[in-house]
Amino acid sequence: MAIQATSTFEYNSGVYTNPYFRIVLHLPQDGQETPVDCFMYSTQEAYASGSGQIACFPFYVSNVSASADNNGDNVINKYLLYVTEQITGSLETMSSGSTFNIVEIPTS
């Protein structure tokens, strides 16, 4: 799962043009929150070539609003989409004015 910025992203006094974010979920300890690492790369190609990430943002996604059923429309796993949408919202909060597209969600 990944998120592609479609504008600039401001972080740590730097401005990045259209960075690429990879999402890594971890098993929730208590089921209430899912720990997620969000790795920022300069581009999708930088990620694919094995270049180091610019930053890693740790997030905890609340599972309270997650749907009980996992059957998604046009996605294989609705929960993965839910988590990615929550991370996208957190990134928008971190860098107001930045816009994003969710990419690389497995579809049915």
Range of the domain at 82: 2-103
Q: Is the pLDDT of residue 37 over 90?
A: yes
Q: Which of 16-25, 34-43, 61-70, 87-96 has the lowest mean pLDDT?
A: 61-70
Provide mean pLDDT across the span 100-104.
92
Say if residue 15's pLDDT is above 60.
Answer: yes
Is 108 inside any structural domain? no
Burial classification of residue 69, based on how many CB atoms lie within 10 Å of its CB (0-12 exposed, 13-18 middle, 19 or more buried): exposed
- Range 70-92 average pLDDT: 81
- In this prediction, residue 30 has a pLDDT band, given cuts at 50, 70 and 90, of confident
pLDDT at 10: 96
Residue 31 has pLDDT above 80, yes or no: no
Query: What is the pTM for the complete model shown?
Result: 0.88
pLDDT of residue 73: 64
Using DSSP's 3-state secondary structure scheme, residue 64 falls into coil
Domain count, the chain: 1
Q: Is residue 23 part of a domain?
A: yes
Single-letter residue type at 87: I
Q: Does residue 80 sit within a domain? A: yes
Establish if 32 belongs to a structural domain.
yes
Give the mean pLDDT of 16-23: 97
